Structure 1
Amino acid sequence: QSVASDILRMDSTNGDALYVRGLCLYYEDCIDKAVQFFIQALRMAPDHEKARLACRNAKALKAKKEEGNRAFKEGNFEEAYSLYTDALTIDPNNIKTNAKLYCNRATNFSSWPNVYQTWLSNFSMYIKHGCVCPALLIYRLSCSSYMDTEMYEEAVRDYEKVYQTEKTKEHKHLLKVAQLELKKSKRKDYYKVLGVEKNASEDEIKKAYHKRALMHHPDRHSGASAEVQKEEEKKFKEVGEAFTVLSDPKKKSRYDSGHDLEDDGGMEDFDANNIFKAFFGGPGGFSFEASGPGNYFFQFG
């Protein structure tokens, strides 16, 4: 990995180095970043078959895992079990990603309640009699799967059991991570508000705001019912609020780390209309113009 990085510093177009860098990330379970390197490698060397195969495997593994997570969250446990099993056949050598898949698949015992409850009962007996390892194993498997599928309340519950059973620094850290993710999940999800991924670029965030601000602007819905107008106004404000945070590196960093921006007055001067005017203002900008009472049309520069 270090050799590939050194080569890329001297020659960022080296297809082999891009492939090796992507492969390292792939086996560290950083699949999204790995795919970016594989794609770049193929741009530099279109006939790089190893990069093509690795890219195909990475995309397939990610897609199948996400399908399994979605089925699990929706309560389709048998389908999730099948999807996780299919994912495990894609690349047996990707140990880290496959470990998560095995954890996720183990949690699908909840689709067979009698078996699952028997397991938990037996592991509770292990804890009672001091044989903690088997119990910790199943709870750790459960916790990992809950975290991976964003079921944070369940993850906190089980990590608390793990920490109470064996108070190590590792278990304390895992519990704190789960508690932080639970706290973050209860806030407004600004990424979902704008419809972007958490690793979205500055340009992607701007494009998303452009699209959604126009979609929900109150003037666009001036002829709708009072109920619709109220809902669209609310969405317009949320879009502006999301853009205010995610377009500011410092606020974005604090938001991503779980910090409550309201605690330090970070949003006290927020005004959705001002954000809109600042974004669309200037020469060649955008404006709403009235053609009659309650009637507006869009004008692009």
Structure 2
Amino acid sequence: MTALSLLKLRKLDDAIEDCTNAVKLDDTYIKAYLRRAQCYMDTEQYEEAVRDYEKVYQTEKTKEHKQLLKNAQLELKKSKRKDYYKILGVDKNASEDEIKKAYRKRALMHHPDRHSGASAEVQKEEEKKFKEVGEAFTILSDPKKKTRYDSGQDLDEEGMNMGDFDANNIFKAFFGGPGGFSFEASGPGNFFFQFG
């Protein structure tokens, strides 16, 4: 974290504390709840934000308060699912090319063949990561699925069931058919790829 982002975080924490003290004195002080909820949103504490926006909406049922509550609920929902951008190590504004490059790099890094000499526990963890990378690529490389994912919609609706994809098939399509590559050891922990 940069010094500037630490300073901003400290200011948000101070603002949350000030708002908390204000609502202790007057639990009907809507502006304090709204300010604290916004600070919670900024610090990605979505459950707390939802709680504050619910309190505000129960007190003043306005369109604006309803929308703030819906936005907080959506962010909370999005925060509880897999972050495909984080899995691939790309920014939310990543181009199609950046997504492909990130997939290529992560898929090779976590491919099960690369970890065949590791402990069973490590193999299992790497296989899980390999599948997640394939899943992330499946979503982020498809404009329709990416739009649904970015907007917080469920991907299991409309036939986008994520249980139907196979990470190995994605890998083969990306790197060529069977026998398209192999991992070869060139000493302890060193691997190179041989494309056939």
Tell me the TM-score range normalised by the shorter chain: 0.7 to 0.9
Q: State whether structure 2 residue 151 is matched by structure 1 residue 228.
A: no
The CA deviation string for residues 86-109 of structure 1, in whole angstroms up to 9 with x for no partner, is xxxxxxxxxxxxxxxxxx365252
Q: Select the residue among 98, 110, 122 that pairs with 2:25.
A: 122
1:179 Cα offset (Å): 0.4
1:161 Cα offset (Å): 0.7
Which of these two proteins has the greater Rg computed from alpha carbons? 1
Would the aligned equivalents of 1:159 and 1:171 in 2 still touch at CA under 8 Å? yes
SS of the residue 2:87 aligns to? helix
SS of the residue 1:197 aligns to? coil
The CA deviation string for residues 124-175 of structure 1, in whole angstroms up to 9 with x for no partner, is 1xx2xxxxxxx11111111111111211101101000110111000000110
Q: State whether structure 2 residue 177 is matched by structure 1 residue 269.
A: no
Structure 1 193/222 Cα, relative in aligned 2: closer, same or farther at 3 Å?
same
- Superposed, 1:145-164 pairs within 5 Å as 145-164=39-58
Distance 2:60 2:151 in 1: 27
User: Which residue does 2:134 correspond to in 1?
Assistant: 240
- Superposed, 1:16-55 pairs within 5 Å as none
User: Which residue does 2:182 correspond to in 1?
Assistant: 288
1:118 Cα offset (Å): 3.8
User: Which residue does 1:66 correspond to in 2?
Assistant: 5
Structure 1 204/161 Cα, relative in aligned 2: closer, same or farther at 3 Å?
same
User: Which residue does 2:82 correspond to in 1?
Assistant: 188
Would the aligned equivalents of 1:106 and 1:142 in 2 still touch at CA under 8 Å? no
Q: Which of 1 and 2 has higher RCO (CA within 8 Å, sep 6+)?
A: 2
Distance 1:136 1:228 in 2: 51
SS of the residue 2:182 aligns to? strand
1:187 Cα offset (Å): 0.7
Structure 1 145/117 Cα, relative in aligned 2: closer, same or farther at 3 Å?
closer
Distance 2:21 2:87 in 1: 42
Q: State whether structure 2 residue 65 is matched by structure 1 residue 171.
A: yes
Task: Report the AA paired with residue 208 of structure 1.
Answer: A
SS of the residue 1:241 aligns to? helix
Task: Report the AA paired with residue 141 of structure 2.
Answer: S
Distance 1:207 1:148 in 2: 30
User: Which residue does 1:208 correspond to in 2?
Assistant: 102
User: Which residue does 1:107 correspond to in 2?
Assistant: 15
Task: Report the AA paired with residue 150 of structure 1.
Answer: E
SS of the residue 2:26 aligns to? helix
Distance 1:181 1:65 in 2: 24
Distance 1:212 1:138 in 2: 45
- TM-score, normalised to structure 2, is 0.86
Would the aligned equivalents of 2:111 and 2:127 in 1 still touch at CA under 8 Å? yes
Unaligned runs of 5+ in 1: 1-62, 73-79, 82-103, 110-114, 128-134
Q: Select the residue among 255, 260, 270 that pairs with 2:149.
A: 255
The structure carrying a bigger helix percent of its residues is 1
SS of the residue 1:264 aligns to? coil
Would the aligned equivalents of 1:106 and 1:141 in 2 still touch at CA under 8 Å? no
Distance 2:91 2:75 in 1: 17
Structure 1 237/192 Cα, relative in aligned 2: closer, same or farther at 3 Å?
same
Aligned residues: 189
Displacement over 6 Å in runs of 4+? none
Distance 2:13 2:163 in 1: 45
Would the aligned equivalents of 1:245 and 1:255 in 2 still touch at CA under 8 Å? yes
Would the aligned equivalents of 1:236 and 1:272 in 2 still touch at CA under 8 Å? yes
Task: Report the AA paired with residue 23 of structure 2.
Answer: L
